[in-house]
Every structure is written in C-alpha cells, then in structure tokens.
A and B are shown apart, each in its own frame.
Chain A
Amino acid sequence: MKQSVSLTVNGRPVETTVEPRLSLADFLRLELRLTATHLGCEHGVCGACTVLIDGEPARSCIALTVSLSDAQITTLEGLADDPAMQVIKQAFHDKHGLQCGFCTSGMLISTRDLLKRTPNPSENTVRNGLSGNLCRCTGYQGIVRAVLKAAEDLAAS
C-alpha cells in the first residue's frame, strides 16, 4: 500500500505517495527522472548512488523514500551551480578522474564532502576518504590526482 511522504529534492518541494519498499535512488531516477544518481550494487557497497540527505552524504539505494519525511535531498543535478562542485568537476576533467563515468556522480559528491571536512588532505586521506566509492574501471590514480588538484584549486579560489 502506498504511503504519503513530503520531502525537498534539490530545493523543490515534492509531495507524493510511494510504496514503502521504494529506495530513494529509484524514486529519484524513475519518478523524478534525476538520472545523475547511478545504481551499481544496490546494497550500499559501491557508492555510485551517493547523494546528500540533509547535507550529509548517504547511500540512496539503502535509504527508503518513505522514511525521508521533511528531509532535504540534494543530487548532483542540484549541485550544478555549487562553486565547489564546479572546481571539483574541472579537476576531474583535467586529471582524467573518470573513464566510463558510471561512478563519477558518487565520486564527486563524496569528494565535495571530504574536502569540506578536510580541506588540505594527504593522498592517504583521499584514498581512505573515497574508499567507499568503487571505480570498476580501476581509474583510481586519476581520481586521487583529481581530488588533490581540486583541494589545491579550492584553497586558491
């Protein structure tokens, strides 16, 4: 049986009814057509579906939409005008931080949060901080370089 829930997605209030088993990831992709959020493993391991719930990164594949009453959801689309995200995207572009791009949305959101909490990270901090995001192209060298460059660029801006 569907149940009502009201939440905010990328600043837009959404009032809807959902099946309790509907994940936030499926809700974003299938109902709101916000397809920047990708689904990899669908059990909280790969990090591709990472979004911000009330400003904090969370796995949208293991968040139930029905439980997110009054929550503020931000997806990569909602960060299009975010100054930090623009710097991070450019760094991923410059340092070959993506190959197929499947993991990139989650990588970008995790990177933004990591650099917010640790503005001047060591390589080790970056590797640990992004350990919850898997890249099946194994393009980690480029990703780590991109994050380190983003940190430098953010500090300079």
Chain B
Amino acid sequence: MKPAPFSYYRATSVEDAIAALSGADGMAAVLAGGQSLVPMLNLRLSPVDHLIDLRPIAALSRQEETPEAICYGALTTHAAFEDGAVPDGTNGLMRYAASHIAYRAVRNRGTLGGALALADPAADWLTTAVALDASVTLTGPDGQRYLAITDFVVGPYYTQIAEHEIIDSVVVPRRSATERWGYYKVAPKVGEYAKSLAVALVDSEKASARLVIGAWSDVPLVLEASAIALLDGAKKNDLTMVVQNELDLKMPSLSPAERRLHTATAVRAAEQTRS
C-alpha cells in the first residue's frame, strides 16, 4: 500500500501548473484534494511519474457570484459546501449533496473540481452537476474553454479534459426560489459510493422539471419523459410506470434488479419534491 516513486511539483499559479504539465516527460497528473488519486497511487492503480500539486493556487479556491450563476473554483471543498461557507444558488441542494459525500475527514480535503475530473459515475457531484446544468471551465496552453457538464463527461471516468488542461472552475446557474429538489441515494453503508442516485428538480411556477439518474454503468442519465410526468403531477404509481418505461428505453442493459433499484431511487427523489 505504498505508492511507486514519483516526482512532486508545487504549482504556484494556473499557468505554472499548465507549464509543468506540458513540460513533463512521462505520465503527469494534477493533485487537488487527493482523496481518490492518492488511494489509487497507494494501490498502484494509477501510474504517475510526476505529480503537480494545485492546492497552493489560491485562485482555484475562489468563488464568484453573478446574478445568474455562481462560479466555484475547482478546489472548493465538499466541507465548504456542507458548512455553508460558500454561496449557494440551489436552495440548499449542493449543501445537502456535499454533506453526503464519503466522510467528514474526506470532505475536508476532497474538492468539487477533483470529483468532476475523476468522473466516477457513482459519485455525488457528477449526477448533481448534470441535474443543475452546471458547466466546467477548462484552462490549457491555448487558453480557456467552457463545456456544459453533459459535454464535459463522455463516459465513466472519462472526460473531455485534454492532456495539458486543468479544471479551473465550475459554474452553477442559480435556481429559482420556487424550485423544489429531491435527492435520493442508495448506499448500503453510509459514506460509500452510491449503488443508485437520483436528483429531481421541479418548479411548477416556471413549468420546468428535471430528473437525473446516476451511479449506473454510464454517465448520468436525464429522464425527460419522467420529468414531464412529474411536472404534470403524475401519481406515484403512474410515475413509477413512466420511469420504468423510460429506463427500459434508455438503459436496456439493466438487470431486473438494477431496473427496480434505479426506478425506486428516481421515484423517491421525485416524491421528495412534493413532500
């Protein structure tokens, strides 16, 4: 359980980190909170020759507010969300999601940007970010680019981050004050990665709804038909049928047990929006 040797570089700025990434020969990786990467180094699952530490870069811990959105620096920790130490535009959804990630000792160091960069399909932030229509700002040698989260993540553990790019920040649009959310996670042990995860958002005044299923074998799945049924006030049994049908259509590879699990998770998240 000891990592193989690697070199370590303390980056002083985003530009410095990108220069270090570009100049590295061999496999280079950036270190944010290290709560997934360092375990993988310990287990020697992640071959890294050069580790570039982003934590000293103060700019990556910033938060910026605009009337439409809040921009969170990539190094904003889960604990900062949990404690309400950073602004929230989601009626508390991000705070709730953050406080259910792993354990406090992990939340103190784990970061939003790091979690999205890993793109573990079972992790809380990825599904939450898809539900919230977040976008990701990437900085590389050629400047910055902005990707909607659904364009950013292309598969399990697979994102559009190019070789010499890092996540600078995550932009989360402000939700309307009349919106209600539901968040349901199935994890047999508290703090473990989810077996199933669903986020529901309903704003009947604005006639908008969103239902997203995460923690299956691919990127989070947006259930449009089910969201419309939810907005239309479908009763629980009817909603269950709609979700099941949509899952059959969009996740045909599910086993019967997984199908029931994800259906129940989605319906429970949806039900929370009207309780």
Residues of A at under 8 Å CB distance from B? Answer: 1, 3, 19-21, 23, 26, 41-45, 47, 50, 53, 56-59, 61-64, 66-67, 69, 110, 113-114, 127-129, 131-133
Check B10–A69 contact: CB distance below 8 A. yes
Point out the residues of chain A lying under 8 angstroms from B106, CB to CB. Answer: 44, 59, 132
Q: Any chain A CB within 8 A of the CB of B87?
A: no
Check B104–A21 contact: CB distance below 8 A. no
Residues of B at under 8 Å CB distance from A? Answer: 1-8, 10, 31, 34-35, 38-39, 41-43, 51, 53, 55-56, 79, 102-106, 108-109, 189-191
Closest 8 CB pairs of A and B: A132-B103, A42-B1, A20-B8, A131-B190, A62-B38, A43-B39, A57-B105, A21-B3
| A43-B43 contact in complex given A62-B34, A64-B34, C-beta closer than 8 Å | yes
- What would be 8 A-B contacts, judged by CB atoms less than 8 Å apart? A19-B5, A21-B3, A21-B4, A21-B5, A53-B108, A59-B109, A67-B53, A110-B104
Check B109–A128 contact: CB distance below 8 A. no
A32 to B4 alpha-carbon distance, docked (Å): 22
Point out the residues of chain B lying under 8 angstroms from A129, CB to CB. Answer: 104
Nearest Cβ on chain B to A156's Cβ, whole angstroms? 25
Q: Which of B39, B189, B191 has the most CB of A within 10 A?
A: B39
Chain A contact residues, majority secondary structure: mixed
Point out the residues of chain A lying under 8 angstroms from B1, CB to CB. Answer: 41-43, 61
Check B8–A67 contact: CB distance below 8 A. yes
Q: Output the nearest chain B residue to A129 by Cβ-Cβ distance.
A: B104
Check B104–A62 contact: CB distance below 8 A. no
Point out the residues of chain B lying under 8 angstroms from A41, CB to CB. Answer: 1
Check B42–A62 contact: CB distance below 8 A. yes
Nearest Cβ on chain A to B90's Cβ, whole angstroms? 22
Nearest Cβ on chain A to B58's Cβ, whole angstroms? 13
Check A110–B105 contact: CB distance below 8 A. yes
Check A64–B105 contact: CB distance below 8 A. no
A45 to B105 alpha-carbon distance, docked (Å): 10
Nearest Cβ on chain A to B190's Cβ, whole angstroms? 4
Check A50–B189 contact: CB distance below 8 A. no
A64 to B190 alpha-carbon distance, docked (Å): 26
Check B104–A114 contact: CB distance below 8 A. yes
Check B42–A42 contact: CB distance below 8 A. yes
Check A128–B190 contact: CB distance below 8 A. yes
Check B34–A67 contact: CB distance below 8 A. yes
A44 to B51 alpha-carbon distance, docked (Å): 19
A69 to B41 alpha-carbon distance, docked (Å): 20
Nearest Cβ on chain A to B269's Cβ, whole angstroms? 20
Nearest Cβ on chain B to A36's Cβ, whole angstroms? 16
Q: Output the nearest chain B residue to A19 by Cβ-Cβ distance.
A: B5
Check B5–A20 contact: CB distance below 8 A. yes
Point out the residues of chain A lying under 8 angstroms from B109, CB to CB. Answer: 53, 58-59, 63
A152 to B40 alpha-carbon distance, docked (Å): 40
Check A21–B105 contact: CB distance below 8 A. no
Check A20–B7 contact: CB distance below 8 A. yes
Check A43–B42 contact: CB distance below 8 A. yes
A17 to B105 alpha-carbon distance, docked (Å): 26
Nearest Cβ on chain B to A132's Cβ, whole angstroms? 3
Check A61–B42 contact: CB distance below 8 A. yes
Check A50–B42 contact: CB distance below 8 A. no
Nearest Cβ on chain A to B46's Cβ, whole angstroms? 12
Check A47–B105 contact: CB distance below 8 A. yes
Point out the residues of chain B lying under 8 angstroms from A61, CB to CB. Answer: 1, 42
Point out the residues of chain A lying under 8 angstroms from B55, CB to CB. Answer: 67
Check B39–A44 contact: CB distance below 8 A. yes
Q: Output the nearest chain B residue to A3 by Cβ-Cβ distance.
A: B8
